[in-house]
Amino acid sequence: METPENDPKINRRKFIANGARASVLIGIGGLAALVAKKTIAGQTVWQLDPAKCIQCGRCATNCVLTPSAVKCVHVYAMCGYCDLCGGYFKPETKTLTTGAENQLCPTNAIKRKFVEDPFFEYTIDEPLCIGCGKCVKGCGAFGNGSLQLQIRHNICVRCNQCSIARSCPADAFSRVPANQPYLLKESGQEENNNKK
Amino acid sequence: MKKNAVLLILILVLTIQLLNVYGVQRFPKPEFESGYVQPDTLQPDTRAELLAIMDIVVLTVALAVISWLVLKKRSRIGVFCTSVLSLVYFGFYREGCVCSIGAIQNITLAMFDENYVIPLTVIAFFVIPLIFTLFFGRTFCAGVCPFGAIQDLVSYKPQKLGTRLNAVLGLIPYLYLGLSILYAATGTDFIICRYDPFVGIFRFDASFGMFLFAGILLVSGIFIARPYCRFLCPYGVLLNFISRFSWRHMTITPAACIKCRLCEDSCPYDAIDMPVPGKNPEDRAITLRKLILICLLVPFFVLLGGYSTSRLHETLAGVNGKVHLAKSLLEPTTNNGQPETFEITAFKSSGKPVSQVFSEASAVIRQFYIGSWILGCFIGLVFGIILARQLIIAYQADYTPNKGTCFSCMRCVDYCPVTPEEVKS
Amino acid sequence: MTNQASSASTRKLLQNIAIASAIFAVILCVLIIVNFIQLKRADPLNSKVLTTLVERLHANQDDESLRQEIRELDLLARKAFFTNQWQVRMGGYLLFVSLLVIVICVKATDLMQKTLPDVPSADRRDFWHLRKINRLWVIYTGLFIVILSLLIVLLTHRELGKNLELAARGSSEKEPAAGTDLNTRTTPGTMPKGIAADSLKADSAGTQAPGNVLAGINPDGYPSLQEINGNFTSFRGPGGTGIAYQKNIPTSWDGKSGKNVRWKTEIPLPGYNSPIIWKDRVFLTGASETRREVYCIDLNSGKILWRKTVEKIPGSPAQEPKVISETGFSAPTMTTDGRRVYAIFANGDLIALDLEGNEIWTKNLGIPLNHYGHSSSLIMYRDLLIIQYDQRGSGSVMALAGKTGEVVWKTNRSVKISWASPVIIHTGKRTELILAADPMVASYNPADGKELWRINCIEGEVGPSVAYADGVVYAVNDFSKLSAIEIGDTPKLLWEDTDYLSDIPSPLATAKYLFVVTSYGALACYDAKTGTKYWEQELGTPTFASPVLAEGKVYLMDKKGVMHIFMADQKYTVVSESPLGEGSSCTPAFAEGKIIIRGNKHLFCIGK
């Protein structure tokens, strides 16, 4: 079908097409190079900063997972092993027993174990924990703040945009490097003692 | 020596003060006599880094395989099987994150937010499909993207939508892309991820709204093929543009078209360009005049779009957390009697001055003002180009896939009676 | 033939399976949605019933049956929550499997039944016509979008950006012009440029080093309510209602041993005015018959940062007015808007200083005709300095522009002399300025001085200022009565009492309780809404200072310098009684973790 005088036209078209292709390629490459300056080889994961957290309870409801990937984590090193634990007991509780009427945790996820007089150990049963932060609030208000909310990375599905982060009123969520995925605050016991 | 000691003490004092900002040690750590050993706080590891590399490898291999299946093997079954495998891997195993569609926002954020560092995987997920598209057409959509795959699975009795609906709905992705870039650039939100319909299915877990959206898309997907890909997907806009320049694109027929018209209705996406009858000088003159008119109108479209969107900038910025907080601080009397919002409680406990919130918020609103002008101009430009394109005459004799909108799903190929063997003979 | 028949029957079978699983899926879907809504609505983990039961148990600890009931209910709730979650999850999996079955069946039938496509009839509408339709509809959509966006603009546009910018400028610390302001307003010796720039940085980081209070503040603006509440800007705190919003307030100290006393600074001249605090600076005045001074003290170190002698004020009388020793020459407390501080003295001298002690403007309001000595404190509303000047023969209240001292408004009052101080309240609907003087308690719009309402309920030489909480104003005076006034356009007297009447200390109100202190040292707590008396106490020491509420505790200083700290509660629970080591007649001021108390000679900073 092709006549010889059509040839230059086709060649020109080919040339233009190649040029366009090359410029698109350069465009993509340029864009990649532009952002590549601020890249890291590793991954980032979401984590919340307990120092900013106000325990509003949205971690329990706004995660894409049910129950939430945010759990209460117990930093034993900070714990005072109190008998009257603000994280375990409802306020105004008078009889310090493990009865349901005394427990702050709505799902019975904190286990209280006698260690020695007058100390008790508190352990979080994570599968039961829904991340509501009630105990965290209690511990922060009356105790040492050893109960803290954290995203558990064995559960978290690593959404590109964490759906709790965008509803967190305290702006406590941020992307952190995956090799240091936890932001537990461990107010150094020793340092404090030194000061005294 | 003495100087060093002073320095050391200074550092020590500083660190102690720093640490004191955190938690209050109201009760000293007990000294146990019973030999109780304090348990360690468990910190389960995140997903291994190596697996992220594997994602990139799987993506590249899948793209290579599907391009080969589309262009060399011309196999519908092959494409279908690859798409099911991709759905299983990227969808159900990897749970849909991070995906190429959402990566648009990460790239945008990386360009505008100095503090954001972007993982290499995300760049790879954004760039690799674009490059493959530049060479082989939208093979990514055909069978690597899990979103496309799941919709392809359910499209049972696809109907033709008609030219009007196609034209109107086809504009939505441009708006969506523009908005998602605006919101990502201002660090407000990732709206593509927020309104992502299918991750909920991949994870067997999502909010009710997400499931509802997914349900609507999938049920309508039985009759309207790939509703998300065609009428929402913002990444599709980029792929559509790039695919027009593709080096080798899938063809319906392996040899010369015999115009049997068997494939004419085979495409559920209305992505087959019909033959355009021969030149008609009269038509040409009229359309040329119209084309010139529209080209002259493009600046007007751009300005109109820019102006009307820029008027919206405060409404658009209302979603931003900083603006929202500032607004509620500025008009505090509205929630009379109700307890203060968590945002305000958090703000109070942060000790940040009010003026800072206000000035940050007004900075965000300024960004939105500029951003909405750009967004509006972009939308105006898109309208202008689409209108102009409707007037450009591309005479052609054969049935060809539209390089922009074709997903390379290979349905039409199955209908083509021309076989490659005939080519050889 | 058989082959075809068998494939037809298989197809039929597959179709039936698909239909069956489709029905199954629909039923599942409905069940899941119902279950989900149930879970959302019942919210078993936050059950109200359980909460009320627990509250009842707290009131009655020995009720074993109640205890048992709670336990059972709690178990039920938790069970409901977890089973419900399990059901939704399992339902989801089942739904997924059934959908998978449908897809497989449908795809399999498709594969078995290969049909050739219909070739569409030839009379397709022509290419150009389709394109034309496309163009038209794209244009329609464009118009629709433009109209829609303009419509939304009309409905929502609120000049938010501009308002925020104004607000930011109003309470700004990041004003671009701040640097230039600073240079013109501070003397070069006090703050070199370099420090100024540094302190600006410190500001934006949210930390405040001493010596930079001025840095970058716009002199035209006024502090937001938040900022005011974060400081202690006037007599009896922000608004003058006796409520401090600071946290971590110490509850015990001893002035003698120095326990929890951070510093103690001698104040050169005496005065019964109370300290005020703005960020890291404490301000107070002192005066003798011949000398009047304003002091600024560093909150952290107790160092006197500057002292300013108030002299050579135009119109100032040559002869000091007569005052009694219980009032002194500087009874009114200062106030501040974070840009300037304001002080008034017994001879009517009024001065505005910037935070570095430089004089901004001065004025004499005319000798107060007052047989004890002028004692109404100053207060700020936005950038207006409000002065209650109820003197013999000419009662008035006026507002002066804080920046210039010009009178913005002045309202005359037909009242007798008052020693009380103005109080600014935020009712939620509006902001009101409340004044008490024989014969009335009256409210004014602080922006323009228009009277909002008045009620005649007070008589005599009014000393105590009013208290306010939750829509009720409380006014009291000796030889008169205690009245609770529900405010509004037509104020209503809620209740009255005559048992405890004060002539100097002001009452203190919370939403639930009202605390009245008398100058002879009696203390009573009333139900704020009904006037039921909950408890009465005898402190045994005369008390001139007004009580202040901080962190749910009432801080009351007696004349011997002992701070009585008790819970603001239905029962009288003493938290502590901490001695200052010297007498005091002044109301304490509160900062984060600190109390500033003016003793008869020294200024004390209490803090851990």
Question: For residue C116, what pLDDT is reported?
Answer: 64
Instruction: Check B362 against C164: CB less than 8 A apart.
Output: yes
Distance (Å) of CA C538 to CA C117, C503, C524, C564: 101, 16, 9, 12
Point out the residue among B24, B117, B194 whose CB comes nearest to the CB of A44: B117
Which of C39, C58, C61, C63 is the mutation pick for testing A, counting most A CBs within 10 A? C58
Please give the single-letter amino acid code of residue C396.
S
Judge whether residue C72 has pLDDT over 70: yes
Judge whether residue B282 has pLDDT over 60: yes
Q: Is A150 part of any domain? A: yes
Predicted confidence band of residue C207 (pLDDT cuts 50, 70, 90): very low
Average pLDDT over every residue of C521-538:
90
Q: Is C509 part of any domain? A: yes
Same domain, C198 and C231: no
Same domain, C229 and C205: no
Beta bridge partners of C395: C413
Distance (Å) of CA C11 to CA A1, C3, C117: 48, 12, 20
The backbone region for C290, taken as left when phi is positive above 0, alpha when psi lies in -120 to 50, beta otherwise, is alpha
pTM of the model: 0.64
Of the three residues C112, C135, C160, the one that is the final residue of a domain is C112
Same domain, A30 and A54: no
Domain with residue C500: its CATH number is 2.130.10.10
Residues of C in contact with A94 (CB under 8 A): 58, 61
- Say how far apart CA C188 and CA C250 lie, in whole Å: 39
Alpha carbons within 13 A on the beta-carbon side of C582: 13
The tens digit of pLDDT for each residue in C403-445 reads 888 888 999 898 889 999 999 998 877 889 999 998 899 999 9
Same domain, A104 and A151: yes
Same domain, A8 and A66: no
Say which residue, C606 or B21, is predicted with more confidence.
C606
* From B178-182, B316-320, C58-62, the region with the lowest mean pLDDT: C58-62
The tens digit of pLDDT for each residue in C105-164 reads 988 887 777 666 666 665 555 777 778 888 889 999 999 999 998 888 888 766 777 777
Q: What is the DSSP string of B11-74?
A: HHHHHHHHHHHS----SPPP--SS---PPPPP----S-HHHHHHHHHHHHHHHHHHHHIIIII-
Q: Which domain holds residue A8?
A: 4-36
Phi, psi of B356 (to 5 degrees): -65, -45
Alpha carbons within 13 A on the beta-carbon side of B373: 6
Q: Is A195 part of any domain? A: no
Residues C42, C44, C45, C50, Cα dihedral to 10° = 110
Question: For residue B257, what pLDDT is reported?
Answer: 84
Q: What is chain C's alpha carbon radius of gyration, rounded to the nearest angstrom?
A: 36
Question: How many structural domains is chain A composed of?
Answer: 2
Average pLDDT over every residue of B393-410:
86
The tens digit of pLDDT for each residue in C109-121 reads 877 776 666 666 6
The tens digit of pLDDT for each residue in A136-150 reads 999 988 888 899 999
Residue among B368, B94, B320, B310 nearest B191 (CA)? B320
Touching subunits of A (3+ CB pairs, under 8 Å) are B, C
The tens digit of pLDDT for each residue in A26-59 reads 999 998 888 887 777 778 899 999 988 989 999 9
CA C35 to chain centroid = 42
Q: Is C239 part of any domain? A: yes
Same domain, A29 and A89: no
Instruction: Check A166 against B321: CB less than 8 A apart.
Output: yes
Same domain, C477 and C596: yes
Say which residue, B395 or A196, is predicted with more confidence.
B395
Question: For residue A46, what pLDDT is reported?
Answer: 93
Pair C436, C454: CB distance under 8 Å: no
Residues 6+ apart with CB under 8 A from B4: none
- Say how far apart CA C274 and CA C37 lie, in whole Å: 58
Same domain, A88 and A172: yes
Q: Is C125 part of any domain? A: no
Interface of B with C in 239-268 (CB under 8 A): 260-266
**Coil, strand or helix at C261:** strand
Q: Is C146 part of any domain? A: no
Question: For residue A192, what pLDDT is reported?
Answer: 36
Judge whether residue B295 has pLDDT over 80: yes
- Say how far apart CA A175 and CA A189 lie, in whole Å: 28
CA B317 to chain centroid = 20
| Token code pair at residue C66 | 């109640």
Instruction: Check A191 against B19: CB less than 8 A apart.
Output: yes
Same domain, A62 and A25: no
Looking at the complex, does the CB of residue A1 fall below 8 Å from at least one CB of chain B?
no
Point out the residue among B105, B119, B242 whose CB comes nearest to the CB of A39: B119
Same domain, C69 and C179: no
| Token code pair at residue C383 | 């950038």
Residue among B105, B130, B179, B228 nearest B379 (CA)? B179
Element (H, E) at C36: helix C2-42
ipTM of the complex: 0.83
Distance (Å) of CA C399 to CA A192, C62, C345, C365: 51, 60, 17, 12
The tens digit of pLDDT for each residue in C562-579 reads 999 998 888 888 888 899
Looking at the complex, does the CB of residue A128 fall below 8 Å from at least one CB of chain B?
no
Same domain, C107 and C198: no
Same domain, A91 and A129: yes
Same domain, A22 and A91: no
Structure-token match 């716009």, residue found: C218
Instruction: Check C85 against A107: CB less than 8 A apart.
Output: no
- Say how far apart CA C509 and CA C518 lie, in whole Å: 15
**Coil, strand or helix at A44:** strand
Distance (Å) of CA B269 to CA B141, B214, B412: 12, 20, 11
Of the three residues C158, C191, C221, the one that is the final residue of a domain is C221
Pair C514, C525: CB distance under 8 Å: yes
Instruction: Check C78 against A67: CB less than 8 A apart.
Output: no
Point out the residue among B309, B314, B326 whose CB comes nearest to the CB of C157: B314
Same domain, C482 and C405: yes
Say which residue, C215 or C535, is predicted with more confidence.
C535
Question: For residue C218, what pLDDT is reported?
Answer: 65
Q: Which domain holds residue C47?
A: 2-112
- Say how far apart CA C11 and CA C103 lie, in whole Å: 14
Looking at the complex, does the CB of residue A119 fall below 8 Å from at least one CB of chain B?
yes
Say which residue, C421 or B275, is predicted with more confidence.
C421
Q: Is A111 part of any domain? A: yes
Same domain, A27 and A77: no
Judge whether residue C217 has pLDDT over 80: no
Same domain, C561 and C448: yes
Instruction: Check A181 against B24: CB less than 8 A apart.
Output: no
- Say how far apart CA A165 and CA B194 lie, in whole Å: 12
Structure-token match 């352990």, residue found: A123
The tens digit of pLDDT for each residue in B210-267 reads 888 999 999 999 999 999 999 999 999 999 999 999 998 998 888 888 888 888 888 8
The tens digit of pLDDT for each residue in C343-380 reads 999 888 999 998 888 888 888 888 888 888 899 999 99
User: Is the previous residue joined to B98 through a cis bond, with omega within 30 degrees of 0?
Assistant: yes
Q: Is C148 part of any domain? A: no
**Coil, strand or helix at C148:** helix
Residue B250 has a CB neighbour count (10 Å cut-off) of: 25
Interface of A with B in 85-114 (CB under 8 A): none
Predicted confidence band of residue A190 (pLDDT cuts 50, 70, 90): very low
- Say how far apart CA C305 and CA C274 lie, in whole Å: 18
Looking at the complex, does the CB of residue B339 fall below 8 Å from at least one CB of chain C?
no
Q: Is C124 part of any domain? A: no
Q: Is A176 part of any domain? A: yes
* Closest approach of A101 to chain B, Cα-based (Å): 25
Same domain, A153 and A82: yes
Pair B362, B314: CB distance under 8 Å: no
Same domain, C196 and C234: no
Pair C299, C591: CB distance under 8 Å: yes
Same domain, C92 and C32: yes
Q: What is chain B's alpha carbon radius of gyration, rounded to the nearest angstrom?
A: 28
The tens digit of pLDDT for each residue in B54-64 reads 999 999 999 99
Of the three residues C48, C77, C112, the one that is the final residue of a domain is C112
Question: For residue A189, what pLDDT is reported?
Answer: 39
Question: For residue B420, what pLDDT is reported?
Answer: 67
Same domain, C82 and C229: no
Buried-exposed string B159-191: b where 16+ CB fall within 10 A, e elsewhere: eebebbebbbbbbbbbbbbbbbbbbbbbbbbbb
Same domain, C268 and C329: yes
Q: Is A151 part of any domain? A: yes
Residues of C in contact with A130 (CB under 8 A): 45
- Say how far apart CA B99 and CA C79 lie, in whole Å: 38
Average pLDDT over every residue of B65-83:
92
Same domain, A22 and A61: no
Please give the single-letter amino acid code of residue A86.
G
The backbone region for B343, taken as left when phi is positive above 0, alpha when psi lies in -120 to 50, beta otherwise, is alpha
Q: What percent of chain B has pLDDT over 70?
A: 89
- Say how far apart CA C413 and CA C416 lie, in whole Å: 9
Q: Is A121 part of any domain? A: yes
Q: In chain C, which residue's Cα lies nearest the Cα of B273? A: C127
Same domain, C422 and C571: yes
Touching subunits of C (3+ CB pairs, under 8 Å) are A, B
Instruction: Check C118 against B332: CB less than 8 A apart.
Output: no
Q: What is chain A's alpha carbon radius of gyration, rounded to the nearest angstrom?
A: 28
Q: Is C152 part of any domain? A: no
Question: How many structural domains is chain C composed of?
Answer: 3
Strands B118-119 and C431-437: unpaired
Judge whether residue B136 has pLDDT over 90: yes
The backbone region for C439, taken as left when phi is positive above 0, alpha when psi lies in -120 to 50, beta otherwise, is alpha
Q: What percent of chain C has pLDDT over 70?
A: 88
Question: For residue C115, what pLDDT is reported?
Answer: 67
Looking at the complex, does the CB of residue A16 fall below 8 Å from at least one CB of chain B?
no
Buried-exposed string A114-147: b where 16+ CB fall within 10 A, e elsewhere: eeeeebbbbebebebbbbbbbbbbbbbebbbbbb
Distance (Å) of CA C587 to CA C125, C235, C422, C558, C597: 91, 8, 15, 10, 7
Which of B358, B367, B378, B396 is the mutation pick for testing C, counting most C CBs within 10 A? B358
Question: For residue A36, what pLDDT is reported?
Answer: 82
Instruction: Check A159 against B205: CB less than 8 A apart.
Output: no
Same domain, A31 and A58: no
